Amino acid sequence: MCGIVGYTGDQPAQEIILESLKKLEYRGYDSSGIAMHEGKLVICKKEGPIENMEAELTESNSTLAIAHTRWATHGAPSDANAHPHSDEEISVAVVHNGTIDNYLEIKESLEAEGHNFKSNSDSEILPLLISKYYSGNLVEAMNKTLNDIHGIFTIAAIHKDNPDEIVAVRNETPLVVGIGNSENFISSDIYAILKYTQEIVYPEDYQIIRITSDKVEVFDRDLNLLDYNVETVEKYTEVAEKGGFEHFMLKEIFEQPKALQDSLTELLVESPLERLGLNWKIGSMSIVACGTSYHAGLVGKYIIEQLTAIPVSVSYSSEFRYAAPVQGVGGLLSSRPLVILISQSGETADTLAAARSAKQQGCHTIAICNVPGSRITREVDGVIITKSGQEVGVAATKTFMTQMQALYALAVNLAFNSGSLDHPQSKMWESEIRKIPSKVSQVLNNCESIKALVPHIVKSKSVFFIGRNINYPLALEGALKLKEISYIHAEGYPAGELKHGPLALLSKDTPVIAIAVQDHTYSKLISNIEEIIARKAPVITVAQKGDQLVPKISDHFFELPEIDPVLSPFPVAVFLQLLSYYIADELGTDIDKPRNLAKSVTVE
Total site size for another protein, rule CB under 8 A: 33
What is the β-pairing status of strands 312-316 and 285-289? Answer: parallel
CA distances from 159 to 62, 71, 204, 317, 590 (A): 13, 25, 23, 39, 37
Report if residue 390 touches another protein, rule: CB under 8 A.
no
Binding residue (CB under 8 A) for another protein from 61, 431, 507, 527: 431
CA distances from 193 to 170, 203, 533 (A): 18, 16, 53
- Catalytic residue (one of 301, 483, 593, 599): 599
Active site residue 599: yes
CB atoms under 10 Å from CB of 44, counted, come to 20
Using DSSP's 3-state secondary structure scheme, residue 56 falls into helix
Distance of CA 574 to the CA centre of its chain: 18
For the chain, how far is it from start to end, CA to CA, in angstroms? Answer: 11
Report if residue 173 touches another protein, rule: CB under 8 A.
no
Report if residue 402 touches another protein, rule: CB under 8 A.
no
| CA–CA separation, 26 and 392 (whole Å) | 6
Binding mask 188-207 for another protein (x = CB under 8 A): -------x------------
Our CB check for another protein shows the closer of 159 and 398 to be 398
Report if residue 386 touches another protein, rule: CB under 8 A.
no
157-165, 220-228, 298-306, 439-447 -> range binding another protein (CB under 8 A): 439-447
Q: What is the DSSP letter of 536?
A: T
Q: What is the DSSP letter of 246?
A: S
| CA–CA separation, 546 and 596 (whole Å) | 42
Report if residue 434 touches another protein, rule: CB under 8 A.
yes
Binding residue (CB under 8 A) for another protein from 181, 182, 265, 271: 265
Our CB check for another protein shows the closer of 227 and 448 to be 448
The dihedrals phi and psi of 433, each to the nearest 5 degrees, come to -65, -35
Report if residue 46 touches another protein, rule: CB under 8 A.
no
Report if residue 428 touches another protein, rule: CB under 8 A.
no
Report if residue 273 touches another protein, rule: CB under 8 A.
no
Peptide bond connecting 49 to the previous residue in cis, omega within 30 degrees of 0 = no
Report if residue 442 touches another protein, rule: CB under 8 A.
yes
Binding residue (CB under 8 A) for another protein from 147, 235, 424, 596: 235
- Catalytic residue (one of 2, 44, 363, 369): 2
Active site residue 2: yes
| CA–CA separation, 221 and 207 (whole Å) | 7
**Least gap, CB of 195 to another protein (angstroms):** 8
Binding residue (CB under 8 A) for another protein from 135, 224, 237, 548: 237
CB of 413 closer than 8 Å to CB of 404: no
Report if residue 507 touches another protein, rule: CB under 8 A.
no
Binding residue (CB under 8 A) for another protein from 98, 437, 467, 511: 437
Our CB check for another protein shows the closer of 194 and 474 to be 194
Transcribe 120-189 into DSSP letters: S-GGGHHHHHHHHH-SS-HHHHHHHHHHH--EEEEEEEEETT-TT-EEEEEEBS--EEEE-SSEEEEESS
Rg, the chain, Cα only: 25
Binding residue (CB under 8 A) for another protein from 1, 50, 201, 264: 264
User: Could you list the active site residues?
Assistant: 2, 599
Contact set with another protein (CB under 8 A): 195, 235, 237-239, 241-245, 250-251, 254-255, 258, 261-262, 264-266, 268-270, 431, 434-435, 437-438, 441-442, 444-445, 447
